[in-house]
A and B are shown apart, each in its own frame.
Chain A
Amino acid sequence: MSAIAALPRWKSPSVLPGFGLSFGFTIFYLSLIVLIPLSALVLRPLALGWNGFLTEVAAPRVLHALLLSFGAAAVAAAINTVFGFIVAWALVRYDFPFRRLIDALVDLPFALPTAVAGIAFATLYGPRGVMGSLLMRAGIKAAYSPLGVVIALTFIGLPFVVRTLQPVLSDMARDAEEASATLGASRFQTLRRVIIPALAPALVTGTALAFARGVGEYGSVIFIAGNLPMVSEIAPLLIVIKLEEYDYAGAAAVGVVMLALSFGIVLLLNLFQSRVQARR
């Protein structure tokens, strides 16, 4: 391995064949399917010019949709941080009936097509649905409101938090907890001072993944959201609407802003996480 640095070339020699073919195909296919089409997304809004771009993305309807997508994704991710932690904790630490079944079920949002989840949530939380009528009696309107968006995004994000926490939780040594208890800490103090700090990086990662997925989510949201402009219209739907009006540059502008914002936020979270890790 140390020979790599000494050699002026970018690839170290190997007796195994097939590098040229496999690497060449990888780059070719990556460019064709991912890089070239994505570059169209970045290049297209250039046609608008800087001012045109700003007018496009600063339109009230666009701003509202972006705010809803990012806000609802953040709320849903926060809900999942708390409850995903409890689910992961119960699955790893306790034994109870149907534990294996519930464990397997956590992956459902990964496997269930989003449109299927979408119509199920719209039915459940609609005015005549089981949950919808229940909430209605409490004076809460779930469907066709921002709350509906949060409900759908909570469903989508759950496995990210649980699946990120589970391996860390089961690998976590119990001796620190035991030491903390022996030294007289209450269970709650142990949780706050020992367990949560140890899990913090995984919690942040899981939350960031759930958030990033929620920002762009479309299929599970549009049915329950009702898509009222300036109320419950999410940013991805606005892209679809602009495309239907053949406003390619406008659609791409919204897309670029969404991508840039979500990459930026995930980057910030990663920075925060590495600083937390560096401090310990």
Chain B
Amino acid sequence: MSTHTIALPRSAAGPAEDSPATRLVLIAVAIGYVGIFLLLPLVTVFSSALAGGIRQALSAVADPDALSAIRLTLIVAAISVSLNVVFGIAAAWSISKFDFRGKSLLISLIDIPFSVSPVISGLIFVLVFGMQGWFGPSLRDADVKIIFALPGIVLATTFVTFPFVARELIPLMMDQGRDEEEAAMSLGASGWRSFLRVTLPNMKWALLYAVLLCNARAMGEFGAVSVVSGHIRGLTNTMPLHVEVLYNDYQYVGAFAVAALLAMLALVTLVLKSILEWRYADEIAAVHRH
């Protein structure tokens, strides 16, 4: 969050100011560290994608397997993000507008997926729906495929992106309280009407912010999806999995071309995120950890 750009008095060295030399060294270290660990990998993605010229990169992206990976990624993200938006709004409504026991427990439970390894996030769905999982045999008899198919990929993606919307909306709506909704109700608005006219406008930027982050993670998720997908080319490969398959096939230009597409998505996400934080700082929750 870049909301902390408070202009500090930068007058000549006060008693609690660092000396110009310290300042210079620390800035150099900070820029160097960010440059080596963040900028350099980013540059590598684009330079490796363009190593064989733009034509080769474009043809790698236009390859039928790549296109089907892009399509699958879009479908999965659309479903997972929508599910988590509905959940996030429901959870935030019940937690922020009502008082009940066990509220903090519920909030901690919602946070669980952020502290679970991506691979374990995929593993748990294999344990439930896989061939030797709880429902494996009955699913096979009913000829329903979940693992190594779209539903498994959606479930794993939904799990890893589960808390994004809820944890963005809950603190914001708790801050906003329920006065406005109660006023709307006492003026005769129905519950839905006060939700649509009061609650939704109050949370729209926070919701957009959460959807942005949730979507970036949904499209980029690798570990969890890798476990449940089965890596079937042209069928159950999402974009990150397609990157892996190409890379392991020594098709570096192709791998980096698709990776560059994902990197562009990340950059667009960061730009939009910065704009939202800058323009609507007050209307999105202040604390972000993920």
Contact = CB atoms under 8 A, between A and B. Distances in A.
Interface residues of B, number: 112
Interface stretch (A84-92, A136-144, A272-280): A84-92
B74 to A, nearest CB: 14
Given A44-B127, A108-B38, A119-B256, A86 B26 contact: yes
B209 interface: no
Contact of B222 (A89, A114, A154): A114
Given A163-B288, A218-B119, A92 B4 contact: yes
Interface string A84-108: 0011011111111010101111111
A246 interface: yes
A117 B91 contact: no
A118 B223 CA distance: 12
Give the one of B127, B133, B241 with max A CB within 10 A: B127
A198 to B, nearest CB: 13
Contact of A112 (B89, B185, B220, B274): B220
A209 interface: yes
Contacts of A33: 155, 158-159, 162
A278 B133 CA distance: 47
A36 B44 contact: no
Contacts of B26: 86, 89-90, 94
Nearest to B242: A115
A263 B41 CA distance: 31
A19 B178 CA distance: 13
B248 to A, nearest CB: 9
Interface in A134-188: 154-155, 158, 160, 163-164, 166-167, 169-171, 174, 177-178, 180-182, 187
B221 interface: yes
B232 interface: no
B4 A248 contact: no
A177 to B, nearest CB: 4
Interface string A53-91: 000000000000000000000000000000100110111
Contacts of A155: 37-38, 41
A34 B162 contact: yes
B30 A16 contact: no
Contacts of A262: 115
Contacts of A266: 115
Nearest to A238: B119
B151 to A, nearest CB: 12
B60 interface: no
Contacts of B221: 113
B132 A90 contact: no
B27 A94 contact: yes
A170 B4 contact: yes
B38 A16 contact: no
Contacts of A124: 40-41, 44
**What are the nearest 6 A-B pairs in CB distance?**
A216-B117, A113-B220, A181-B15, A219-B222, A17-B191, A218-B223
Given A22-B90, A113-B222, A177-B16, 19 more contacts: A11-B100, A19-B98, A22-B89, A30-B91, A30-B109, A94-B26, A105-B39, A106-B34, A106-B38, A112-B263, A114-B240, A115-B259, A119-B256, A154-B37, A160-B289, A178-B15, A187-B19, A218-B226, A243-B123
